[in-house]
Amino acid sequence: MTLKGHVDNGVIILDEPVKLPNGTRVTIQSRTGKVKDPTGVAGSWIDDRSAEEIIKDIYGSRRSKK
């Protein structure tokens, strides 16, 4: 189950009412903030060619479907 809400003065306020029994344990995971270690979501590669060479290679590798 995914629920959405916001924090107001340190208290989590859900956007919609939830029918859960009193005492139900929940885990809250924040979706805000910066990624501490971006290596898992971003990458790079080594390429000594200029941007123009890379673009020329991309256009040269395209094939028309005519």
More confident residue, 43 or 11: 11
Contact 2, 15 (CB under 8 A): no
6 phi and psi angles, rounded to 5 deg: -150, 170
Report yes or no on 23 lying in a domain. Answer: yes
Q: Decide if 35 is inside a domain.
A: no
Residue 15: which pLDDT band, with cuts at 50, 70 and 90? very high
Q: Does pLDDT of 3 surpass 80?
A: yes
DSSP-derived 3-state class of residue 18: coil
Global pTM value: 0.42
Q: Is residue 39 part of a domain?
A: no
**pLDDT confidence of residue 66:** 57
18-62 per-position pLDDT tens digit: 999 999 998 888 877 666 666 666 666 778 888 889 889 988 888
Q: Is residue 10 part of a domain?
A: yes
How many domains is the chain built from? 1
4 falls within a domain: yes
- Expressed as residue numbers, the domain containing 8 is 1-30
